[in-house]
Amino acid sequence: MPLSEASSPPRARIVAPSTGRELQLLALAARGLTDRQIGAELNISRDTVASYWRRILLKYGSSKRTEVVARYVEQMALDEIKDTREDNVELRSEIVLRIKAQAQELAHRNLLAAITDASANFIGGQSTVTEVFGGLLQELLYITTSEYGFIGEVRYGERGAPYLHTFAKSDVLWGDESPIRDHNHLPEGPAIRTLDAIFEAVLASDTVVLSNDLVQNPVSSVLRIERQAPSSFLGIPIHCGLEMVGVIGIANRPKGFDAEIVDFLKPLVAICSTMISAYRSDQDRKSAEVRLVASKMLVRTLVDHMPSAVLYESRDRKLQFVNETFRRCFSIDVPIKDLIGMDCRDARAGCLPLFIEPDTFVKRIESIIEGEEDVLQECVLMADGRILERDFIVVRSEGRAQGYLWKYRDMTKSFKA
């Protein structure tokens, strides 16, 4: 395949970041570690990890971590292939395709970790809605390398005018003429009540707002942010059905925002929609039944928006949710509705012939569950020649496992390219 079909034309040799820490971070990211795992490996905080990412993105002149990781690993791979010449286009193409797939999977893994944490905290009920959205906003800023942001619920005043009740916002200093106020006298807390600021288009037109040139935009004058004014902004409406129930806003991302980041954040937006809807129901009824329904909605939203084959089982091994991709991946002819509630040990019996070594597969599954530790990027060989990559994530609440999330991704083309 010509290189032009797989990526951009051959680039000049990459100038690597100058500090050892930045190189360590890139090397760990290339191995597939999430930001949380990188922080633990290097014994640094998540804030420090985010700071290193911002420096790296600026040095590479990029707004996408996936691109930076792909370029870094591509160069490392080419350095190790001593007989590679600049005109070896086919080999470069193979490396680029494989590394891009790995880098994109890393980005999705970070997003999945953020969604899983938010879901577990919300379902557990020990964290307030403000704490849950505050943590999710922090993760959102880490993942997108943005400096500021907010997540809020759309409400309506006495005259029917929409305003934003903020669940979470970053540390922002608002000017006297800003439409954002901290209404401490209101029981609902901080609120954005007018439509004459940058988020006007999100509330008024119910559409995505994306601007990478706020310096020239007059509305930016109403926002005063400590140390640095906003230079770029992305506002995404949150829907539940046809109703706009909330807004996500993030600002100041290196190199700005684009349609790709909007598409990437769709699962997170869906989780916000589910949590806002569940929060509203919980406020109205305050019942255990509502929280149970909310927990199922959260996991269902997560399952339905994952591009990979996904299954969620409770701690007692009862199948709770499974998506259509999983059913197809393992040739299960039983309808999804009939699978729910089954013991996963019984449900997998019909799938065992699909694996090269069924007994080894069963023993490994039991070992993973007994250990109750996350397992990422584990290869599974299928009898039909497919190569699957498996992630196992423990969903916890108050330090105790509540269930297990399994994710399988077909990596056959990447390995055989």
Residue range 342-362, pLDDT digits in tens? 999 888 888 899 999 999 999
pLDDT, residue 289, reads: 59
pLDDT, residue 55, reads: 81
CA distances from 301 to 191, 274, 384 (A): 28, 7, 31
Q: Are strands 243-251 and 209-211 parallel, antiparallel or unpaired?
A: unpaired
pLDDT at 111 over 90: no
Q: How far apart are CA 57 and CA 143, in angstroms?
A: 12
pLDDT, residue 185, reads: 29
CB 61 within 8 A of CB 104: no
The stretch 47-55 carries a mean pLDDT of 82
pLDDT, residue 20, reads: 78
Phi-psi region of 256 (alpha: psi -120 to 50; beta: other; left: phi over 0): left
Write down the CATH superfamily of domain 307-416: PAS domain (3.30.450.20)
pLDDT, residue 386, reads: 92
CA distances from 93 to 121, 274, 373 (A): 43, 41, 36
pLDDT at 364 over 90: yes
Comparing 416 with 210, which gets the higher pLDDT? 210
pLDDT, residue 390, reads: 92
pLDDT tens profile 63-98: 667 777 777 776 766 665 544 455 566 666 666 666
pLDDT at 220 over 50: no
pLDDT, residue 304, reads: 65
pLDDT tens profile 226-259: 334 567 888 899 998 888 999 998 888 877 888 8
pLDDT at 40 over 80: yes
Q: Where in the chain is the domain with CATH 3.30.450.40?
A: 145-285
pLDDT at 330 over 80: yes
- Length of the chain equals 417
Q: Which CATH number fits domain 3-113: 3.40.50.80, 1.10.10.10, 3.40.190.10, 3.40.50.2020?
A: 1.10.10.10
pLDDT at 166 over 70: yes
Q: In whole numbers, what is the pLDDT of the chain averaged over residues?
A: 75
Cβ contacts of 28 within 8 Å, gap of 6 or more: 37, 38, 41, 42
- Give the best-scoring range by mean pLDDT among 202-216, 281-295, 321-335: 321-335
- Rounded to 5°, the CA angle 388-390-391 comes to 160
Indicate whether this model's pTM tops 0.85.
no
Per-residue confidence at 218, pLDDT binned at 50, 70, 90? very low
Q: Where in the chain is the domain with CATH 3.30.450.20?
A: 307-416
pLDDT, residue 367, reads: 94
Residues in a beta bridge with 378: 390
Q: How far apart are CA 58 and CA 20, in angstroms?
A: 16
Q: Which CATH number fits domain 145-285: 3.30.450.40, 3.10.20.30, 2.40.170.20, 3.40.605.10?
A: 3.30.450.40
Q: How far apart are CA 354 and CA 410, in angstroms?
A: 14
* 124 CB-contact burial (10 Å; exposed 0-12 / middle 13-18 / buried 19+): middle
**Crossing angle for the helix pair 46-60 and 129-144, to the nearest 10 degrees:** 30
pLDDT, residue 278, reads: 84
Q: Where in the chain is the domain with CATH 1.10.10.10?
A: 3-113
